[in-house]
Structure 1
Amino acid sequence: MFFKKLNVGILFILLVVLTACGSTSNGEEKDSSETDEVQTIKMGQINWAENVAVTNMWKVILEDEGYDLELKLLDMGAQMAGVANGDLDVSPEVWLPIQDASYLERYQDEANFSEESWYDNAKVGLVVPEYMEDINSIEDLNAHKDEFEGEITGFEPGAGTMVVTGEMIDEYDLDFELIQSSESAMIASIGKAIDNNKPIVAPLWSPHRVFSEMDLKYLDDPKKTYGEAEKIYHATRHGFADDFPKVDKWLKNWKLNDDQIGELMSMVNEANDPADGAAKWVEKNQELVDEWLEK
């Protein structure tokens, strides 16, 4: 009888312990999202002014919300491949309907392309300095080939705009070579040309801080090779919405206008650390950020 009572007592204690382990103090099942484990999100980054600005903005926002955002410096082709194969969670900058159409066509079944754009007033095209008064259209370029030494100064290969610029050369039958480099090198070349009142032609896009720093003009594109108004979207890997439902919703709520993204780029550019500039912008625009996070 003693052993029977002992066994019953031990069983009762075990049940109490197991119940305590499986419940919170108020008796409810513990939600895994309430643990202290920090969830890591991998986001692609490209060394473009607006991309550096928005990726650092999201780093500040998500880390404030308890996530760890790991930024991966990758060109556009590598980003989209990474999202498609699941190595990357988010590619934050997809230009449609023209610039990144090739990536949409290639990966539309392997990645999630958001239907919600975060910027609606994007523009892409060839630019020249304002002082080049005789050159106002892409169709004017061949007649001035020697002035440009037959070169269009470009940036990173694989970027959608570089792909479209290659198509534009064929479309307009331009006797020009597209030179690959980096965005920073291209901007430096434009600045040097302007300082010396020299000719230069390059593919550029808006939004970009360079338009507030240099007098540039877009060349007319009568064949609409670059398209007209572009919108900027984001893409995520399959399963991201299940793994990070809140963040997935926040990204879809994200929206910036000309003034907001212009201020963000300026603050990031002026800071010694891009994250510091982004943090100041987030603090100044907390009401806007709260709208993204509350809906």
Structure 2
Amino acid sequence: MKKKTWGILMLILLVAVAAGCSSNSSKGNPKVKLAYVAWDSEIASTNVVKEVLESKLGATVEMLQVDAGPMWAGIADGSADGMVAAWLPGTHASYLEKYGKDIEDLGPNLEGTKTGLAIPAYMDIQSIEDLKNADVAKSLNHQIIGIEPGAGIMTTSQKAVDAYGLSEYTLLESSSAAMAQELQKAYADNQPIVVTAWTPHWMFANMDLKYLEDPKGIYGGAEQIHTMVRKGLKDDMPGVYQFLDQFQWTAEDMAQVMVDIQGGMSPEDAAKVWVSEHEEQVNGWITGIE
């Protein structure tokens, strides 16, 4: 009888210890998975979030680089904890419709973003409709330089091609980095080029660019970047959840990080510099976290 009682007591003790370890791992030293797409804006924001989580909250962060669709799917199925890269209401509308019921939207972390087709300011056209001009189309080699095929802006840009009757154009799939390189090369040689673009982005700080007017409103108006987290994060990692809920910055903030990265600094170092130089703002993000 005593042996049986002792065995039960040991079992209870082991369960309590296991529960305590689980609590410590989720709250005291959380392991966080952040999903992101390798767009310059999201590289900047995700690295800043990672730096704050690790340096201020003692977390261990794994950054998961994926395409836009898998990013949303990962939050929905719980294989990632969160992301700060949801462009709404337009660019990622299809992903929100597909996955929205399975994720938690913490609201905007950055206001006043914009997407569209951009050109160097030295080009003498003003509207997407001007791309139909035969001479303009020839000068552009009938190409619009795009980014990753899964990106929302590529879906919207294809709609723009159809809506404006640009059937002679090819919307080229590439990557964010390749698009920016092509733009820099054309800009340096004063050559015509049209690219899929968004702000904030370092290329608008480094080059004199302009958006083509969009009279049909295909790209919509100003957008926001939202923070999305998996369901259950609030219970599993309350401190992480609260920080992500309170994380908010400006296009100017993001641009500082992007410009440093473009200037040769690693994303990790650029994030560390920004966080160290914005202590008051960062403290506001972690206010009230125990």
If the length of structure 2 is used for normalisation, what is the TM-score?
0.87
Shift of 1:87: 1.1
Partner of residue 283 from structure 1, selected from 263, 276, 284: 276
Q: Is the 8 A contact 1:270 1:277 kept in 2?
A: no
1:178 counterpart = 2:162: no
1:45 counterpart = 2:36: yes
Alignment size in residue pairs: 273
Q: Is the 8 A contact 1:55 1:92 kept in 2?
A: yes
Distance (whole Å) between structure 2 residues aligned to residue 242 and residue 166 of structure 1: 41
User: Partner letter of residue 47 of structure 1?
Assistant: A
Partner of residue 144 from structure 2, selected from 144, 148, 152: 152
Shift of 1:37: 6.8
Deviations 1:35-68 (A, max 9, x none): 6973211111222111111111111111111111
Q: Which entry has the higher C-alpha Rg, 1 or 2?
A: 1
Q: Paired residue for 1:3?
A: none
Shift of 1:258: 2.8
1:69 counterpart = 2:56: no
Gap regions ≥5 residues in structure 2: none
Aligned sequence identity (%): 36
Q: Paired residue for 1:4?
A: none
1:141 counterpart = 2:164: no
Distance (whole Å) between structure 1 residues aligned to residue 49 and residue 114 of structure 2: 23
SS at match of 1:56: helix
User: Partner letter of residue 139 of structure 1?
Assistant: E
Deviations 1:149-205 (A, max 9, x none): 111000111111111111111111212110000111101101111122211101100
If the length of structure 1 is used for normalisation, what is the TM-score?
0.86
Distance (whole Å) between structure 2 residues aligned to residue 156 and residue 258 of structure 1: 22
Q: Paired residue for 1:226?
A: 219
Partner of residue 58 from structure 1, selected from 18, 32, 49: 49
1:202 counterpart = 2:192: no
Q: Is the 8 A contact 1:95 1:233 kept in 2?
A: yes
Partner of residue 79 from structure 2, selected from 83, 87, 90: 87
Q: Paired residue for 2:111?
A: 120
Root mean square deviation of aligned Cα: 2.4
Q: Is the 8 A contact 2:119 2:211 kept in 1?
A: yes
Distance (whole Å) between structure 2 residues aligned to residue 111 and residue 235 of structure 1: 7
Distance (whole Å) between structure 1 residues aligned to residue 254 and residue 129 of structure 2: 32
Distance (whole Å) between structure 2 residues aligned to residue 30 and residue 62 of structure 1: 22
Alignment of 1:156-167 (within 5 A): 156-167=148-159
Q: Paired residue for 2:103?
A: 111
Distance (whole Å) between structure 2 residues aligned to residue 32 and residue 98 of structure 1: 40
Q: Is the 8 A contact 2:113 2:251 kept in 1?
A: no
Distance (whole Å) between structure 2 residues aligned to residue 283 and residue 267 of structure 1: 14
User: Partner letter of residue 95 of structure 2?
Assistant: Y
Shift in CA distance, 221/58, structure 1 to aligned 2, threshold 3 Å: same
Gap regions ≥5 residues in structure 1: 1-6, 24-28
Distance (whole Å) between structure 2 residues aligned to residue 55 and residue 139 of structure 1: 36
- Segments of 4+ moved more than 4 angstroms: 29-37
